[in-house]
Amino acid sequence: MRAGRDVEQLARRWREEDEEAREIRRREADWDFIRAQPPRLRMALELYVELGDLYVASRVAGLTLDEFNELRLKARIPVVI
């Protein structure tokens, strides 16, 4: 396990990366498409925009990973790494 100082630095870097990724997803998403979806899919897409977790969002949508990824592409939400 890394030392405490290293962990803090990593955590800070990860927080910055997560925030940047969230901003990119929010900016590029097709919000008209997202708002036009049935409630369950809309919630899953909004969750994906905030979290960037394809698996969790696919469970909320009730879809497989692949099916949810197709929906993500239609909603123009990028995967950000």
Binding site for another protein (CB under 8 A): 1-2, 7, 10-11, 13-18, 20-21, 24, 28, 51-56, 58, 64-67, 69-70, 72-73, 76-81
**Contact partners, residue 9, CB within 8 Å, separation at least 6:** none
Least separation, in Å, of the C-beta of 25 and another protein? 8
**Euclidean distance between CA atoms 32 and 21, whole angstroms:** 20
Output the six-digit token pair for 78: 């990028």
Output the six-digit token pair for 38: 């049935």
Which CB atom, from 2 or from 32, has the smaller least distance to another protein?
A: 2
Least separation, in Å, of the C-beta of 76 and another protein? 7
